[in-house]
A and B are shown apart, each in its own frame.
Chain A
């Protein structure tokens, strides 16, 4: 069963605007971690942000923030002030506590930033 769902296959955003990428997850494990990765056209996987299930505050890293709504099992990525270099594929991933560190990925969202 799909544990990570990203419902937006692709989206356009204008430069300097904010964009929210949706991610919902499914787990019965009380201890888990949520990750967002960026994959530009060059192909490498770039870590953006991490949220632990017990973290009290939403994670932030520069222009990236994670809107963590635990009861709704939602972990949306917000990119503020989009830049042309933000054009990429974005993946949400989850690690459960008893999984030997295995990451489960969503299908990804392709973001295109336009001038």
Chain B
């Protein structure tokens, strides 16, 4: 089925470890976004991309890096995980001419 796939779905990290979250979409969408969701705060934008090879910072970019080497993939990296990065991470994509967004199912990350 077409859509946005996030891997992994769950992960527990120790403080200081690194990891990469993968977001893959098969809809040829130009725009992709990474959000984090914390209780009482809704979703906040971490980084986004408006096309292959381009990325930009969102509202809460500190501690994260991203890459979009291929149009279909948007990677979110944590170089040195901190407990404050415990959250649920959502990826979304959007076609430029359409108002709709497609969200992935989320990645629940716990940093201990």
Contacts and interface: CB of A to CB of B under 8 A. Distances in A.
Interface of A: 4, 6, 9, 33, 35, 43-45, 47, 50, 52, 91, 93, 95, 100-108
B58 A47 contact: no
Interface stretch (B13-21, B37-45, B61-69, B72-80): B37-45
Tell me the interface secondary structure of chain B in the complex.
strand
Q: Which range contains the number of B residues in contact with the other chain? A: 20 to 34
B105 A43 contact: yes
B50 interface: yes
A101 B105 contact: no
A101 B94 contact: yes
B42 A91 contact: yes
B88 A100 contact: no
A47 B100 contact: yes
Given A44-B106, A100-B50, 11 more contacts: A35-B101, A43-B88, A43-B106, A52-B99, A101-B48, A101-B96, A103-B35, A103-B101, A105-B44, A107-B42, A108-B40
A103 B33 contact: yes
